[in-house]
Copies of this chain bind each other. A is one copy, B any other.
Amino acid sequence: NVGITSLILSIKLDEVFLNLFLNLFFLFPHGLSEALSWKKSISKQHSCQKITNLVFFYLQGWVRSVRSQKEVLFLHINDGSSLESLQVVADPSLEKRDLTFGSAVEVQGKLVKSPHRMQNMELQAETIRVVGPCDIWSFPLKMKERHPLEYVRQFPHLRCRNNTLGALLRIRSEATAATHSFFQNNGYVHIHTPIITSNDCEGAGELFQIAVSWAKDSAEETHFFNVPAFLTVSGQLHLEVMAGAFTHVFTFGPTFRAENSQSRRHLAEFYMVEAELSFTESLQDIMQVMEDLFKTVTSTVLSKCPRDVELFHKYIAPAQKVIISYSEAVEILKQAPQTFTFKPEWGCDLQTEHEKYLVKHCGEVPVFVINYPYDLKPFYMRDNEDGPQHTVAAVDLLVPGVGELCGGSLREERLPFLESRLQRLGLTDAYQWYLDLRKFGSVPHGGFGMGFERYLQYILGVDNIKDVIPFPRFSHSCLL
């Protein structure tokens, strides 16, 4: 290892040379990206210990703090790979005017065991190069200041430089990977369900319509696809197509609602994880997948970014869960000592206030509510053929603080039931293709969707949904 040091020191230390050298010397099969990710991992404590014998080190990142003392210059450099920054110790002679908070730097030096208890390693700088200065007077983030989330939300192009958003984005990235892995490990086929669709899954009105930007009137607007086209509100029906050929399918993509809402719970563009399971005849199976998905993804996130999750401090593993029927839920609400804005009544939708009460009533644990009124739910949910309180095999998962996290159902696989229901709704022509699926080897099946942003809000205790998505879109706001 002395060899490495002297070899590096003997070559011209410009970054191209050094990158080349690292590539050649360590023979990273994935080239520079791997070398970089290896170098990056230095700022993670557990990796530091492994390479204490590598004396010479090369760090790239952004300055999080500068503290100049008489004898020594302290810097903290962060490269986005972890919440922690690496402390750099340098001779005051290396200080430059543009070496400020927020600037991008490349530091070369020796990685040594830190004498401080709070950190494992520190870098004794030999050269510091400012590759991108930062105009600190106009930079909206200030050194060592704890900016409120509402403040940084005004700067969608810079807020990822904030600790909280950085941690959130790392967690979101890990949760995304874990979601893909969960379904892949369980034999699901991933389907890219379409974003632009001529169908309207929920029968709801709050749709974004697609137009070509040069259209002059509505005739021209629908001209491109020959039919009116909308942004998807759910991939479910398209997943059901695929559930006719694969027994387990899932999708994980953007969905859209043109809801004119400024609430902290709604976005115009958000991500949904949706799954369909063929040959499934009980809601229990659907609930089991919801629970497994939640537990697997969450435990992965906890193990991969413990420090990032710690920053939010809110996650407590739910010790248990409760399953109640919609009818039981209404009874609980009717017997509640409090009065609700919306009077609980069998046949009416559960409001946010009701969901909150139910979760509280059950002891602030996740609550599955099953078997909703037939007339309340969309045409594709499976008729329970019960009565006089006619219900369908639907399930919602309510969680503390967030409300509805997942919604699912068994799907009506029986052609006559579906035909008569679509007929009554006047939708027979529009859903001829959906009826077709029941004519050619239909199977009992069911599925669910999970709001990915709500999932992140729940596990992290983030109050506003706008803070768990990289670029929030909502009514009156489409920044960048």
Contacts and interface: CB of A to CB of B under 8 A. Distances in A.
Nearest to A231: B210
A244 interface: yes
Contact of A184 (B32, B177, B189, B241): B177
A38 B186 CA distance: 8
A479 B198 contact: yes
A231 B79 CA distance: 31
Interface string A183-224: 010111111111111110000011111111111000001001
A123 interface: no
A194 B471 contact: yes
A470 B194 contact: yes
Nearest to A189: B173
A233 B475 CA distance: 22
A61 B247 contact: yes
A138 interface: yes
Contact of A157 (B172, B248, B288, B433): B433
Contact of A478 (B191, B197, B282): B197
A466 interface: no
A209 B198 contact: no
Contact of A225 (B231, B242, B476): B476
Interface residues of A, number: 131
A277 B471 CA distance: 20
A60 interface: yes
Contacts of A177: 180-181, 184, 190
A438 interface: yes
A96 B214 CA distance: 58
A208 B205 CA distance: 20
Interface string A150-185: 000000111011000010011011001100110010
Given A224-B475, A469-B192, A440 B134 contact: yes
A441 B132 contact: yes
A33 B30 CA distance: 35
Interface in A25-71: 30-34, 36-38, 40-41, 60-63
A369 interface: no
A32 B288 contact: yes
A478 B227 contact: yes
Contacts of A138: 439
A15 interface: yes
Interface string A438-480: 1111111000000000000000000000000111010111111
Interface stretch (A102-110, A349-357, A372-380, A404-412): A102-110
Given A439-B134, A480-B199, A41 B269 contact: no
A241 B80 CA distance: 13
Contact of A260 (B19, B211, B224, B288): B224
A238 interface: yes
A131 interface: yes
Given A80-B247, A231-B210, A194 B473 contact: yes
A15 B194 CA distance: 34
Given A62-B441, A213-B258, A440-B158, A248 B207 contact: no
Interface of A: 15-16, 19, 30-34, 36-38, 40-41, 60-63, 79-81, 102-104, 106, 131-135, 138-139, 156-158, 160-161, 166, 169-170, 172-173, 176-177, 180-181, 184, 186-199, 205-215, 221, 224-231, 237-238, 241-242, 244-248, 253-254, 256, 258, 260, 268-269, 271, 277-282, 285, 288-289, 291-292, 296, 413, 433-434, 436-444, 469-471, 473, 475-480
6 contacts: A32-B285, A41-B187, A79-B246, A157-B437, A238-B471, A253-B253
Give 5 nearest A-B pairs by CB, closest first: A37-B187, A80-B246, A132-B442, A225-B478, A31-B288
